[in-house]
Structure 1
């Protein structure tokens, strides 16, 4: 059901009638959809988890609950937008779900349009996330093209050290530091120190993993 490159909506609900209803609803508006009866069924298909653009998740499920599954996905580093649904919603549940990053919380029975609106919003957020991830990946690749010396220089430059200070730290002449600095800025595709600092700060969390 999921065309390559097209957004994929994943549905997890132990109620077969609800799975069928949601599957038909999403397909009726041209969305790709895959349905699962439990979180373990979905985890058995890791490629689906990684390619999913949105997860519609029942909060009360056999085995691992929807909320616990949300926590598990976060630990795995999976940032798929989640829409929770429940027939037993209460305030603490919704607060916990939203604090953990859920984008919506629909109480059964919900209107079809409310679900479609929630999914539409989720797909927009997912596209923005994938674009951001792609840009970050490109920046990391640029950083990986730097020599070990250039990486030492970029770390000191972005701390605000002058070329002369960097040279003293690394045992290099000021002119050598200028050469390394010019090369690394060219490789990182930046023209100013401000741009370099912004780029380096963006990739540091990835480099420190």
Structure 2
């Protein structure tokens, strides 16, 4: 049972955009029956004005709408580009399907669709969005850790991941080997790196540049 706003916010949510009220109601009832939150809209303009929840989500979007079409929305939207889109349509048009999938849609359902097909498509889209969110959070944490490093520690990090030895780093930076070891230990701790390989992986994820002097070795 959900006890507060924070818990509700974490529950996956499905946004439905269809100008057919009966379709919106049917999809809303179906998805709520399997424990999902649902918000429905009669047009893409209504959806653009909505404040999206900070939770795994996806968009069930009708291809043909009064006003801006679903395909036009997909091609032009820039304020919420990460949300997975599942297109729904009453017309099995191969060209439209190709355009939708090429534009990044995760699925394409033709009306009338089976309840289980909708549930499976939605669950797949939500799982994909959850993985994206976890990856984004991991990268944010990694970036925050890197920002804790001092200028000298960042220099040491670049040299370490290049494969340079402590004595080489000391010579390049004009410091003692002991100082390099202290900086290196601090870098490992702040970056929460369990090994050199782990540090290299994290540096690559951040796009840390290898110093030219190290590349030349």
> Normalized against structure 2, the TM-score is what?
0.80
Contact preservation (8 Å) 2:56, 2:129? no
1:63-107 per-position Cα deviation (integer Å, ceiling 9, x unaligned): 43323333444x446422221111234223222322333221001
Task: Output aligned runs, 1:76-91, within 5 Å.
Answer: 76=79, 78-91=81-94
Distance in 1 of aligned mates of 2:83 and 2:29: 22
1:69 aligns with 2:73: yes
Match in the other structure for 1:13: 18
Alpha-carbon distance between aligned partners in 2 of 1:39 and 1:180, rounded to the nearest angstrom: 53
Aligned to 1:146: 149
Cα gap change, 1:159/1:67 in structure 2, threshold over 3 Å: closer, same or farther? Answer: farther
Which structure has the greater CA radius of gyration? 2
Structure 1: 4+ residue segments shifted above 6 A: none
Cα root mean square deviation, aligned: 2.4
Q: Which runs of 5+ in 1 are unaligned?
A: none
- Unpaired runs of 5+ in structure 2? 209-217
Counterpart for residue 53 of structure 1? 57
In 1, the alpha carbon distance for the partners of 2:94 and 2:25 equals 28
> Any conservation in 2 of the 1:10–1:52 contact (CA below 8 Å)?
no
**3-state DSSP class of the match of 1:101?**
coil
Q: 1:203 to 1:113 in 2, by over 3 A?
A: same
Q: 3-state DSSP class of the match of 1:110? A: coil
For 1:108, the equivalent position in structure 2 comes to 111
Q: How far apart, CA to CA, are the structure 2 residues paired with 1:142 and 1:30?
A: 37
* Counterpart Cα distance in 1 of 2:159 and 2:186: 15
Q: Which residue of 1 aligns with 2:49?
A: 44
Q: Which residue of 1 aligns with 2:36?
A: 31
Aligned length: 202
Q: Secondary structure at the match of 1:84?
A: strand
Residue 163 of structure 2: aligned partner:
160
